[in-house]
Amino acid sequence: MEQKDTLLIFIFHAETNDRMELKTVKDGDISSQDMETEEVAIGDQTGRYAGKEGETQRLIWKDGSILYELKGNVDGLSKDDLITLAESFK
């Protein structure tokens, strides 16, 4: 039996009510069609970034057969911080 589109979601909460969400999809898709995005480098990968500091930010990138989405609204988190966090995932 072939398995496709395996989805995992990890939600991180802080004491300050800040929240980050990491979504991973194996052999699937995460839509960013209705968002204005810019291309960014995440290590050796190319990703798409949407949002701005102080609002919900999203970062979508692919590594092999796994597609990642990291999103959240965390006080003081910059685009560069979000990219650094994404580069730490293996």
- The amino acid sitting at 40 is V
In this prediction, residue 5 has a pLDDT band, given cuts at 50, 70 and 90, of: low
**The pTM is what?**
0.81
The reported pLDDT for the residue numbered 1 is 43
The reported pLDDT for the residue numbered 80 is 93
Q: Domain-by-domain residue ranges, the chain?
A: 6-87
| Strand runs labelled E in 1-90 | 6-13, 19-26, 38-42, 45-50, 57-63, 66-73
Distance CA 51, CA 34 (A): 12
Distance CA 73, CA 71 (A): 7
Tell me the two tokens of residue 13.
């909460």
Tell me the two tokens of residue 66.
């796994």
> For the segment 45-82, what is each residue's pLDDT rounded down to a tens digit?
999 999 888 888 999 999 888 899 999 888 888 999 99
> For the segment 11-51, what is each residue's pLDDT rounded down to a tens digit?
888 777 788 899 888 877 777 667 788 999 999 999 999 98
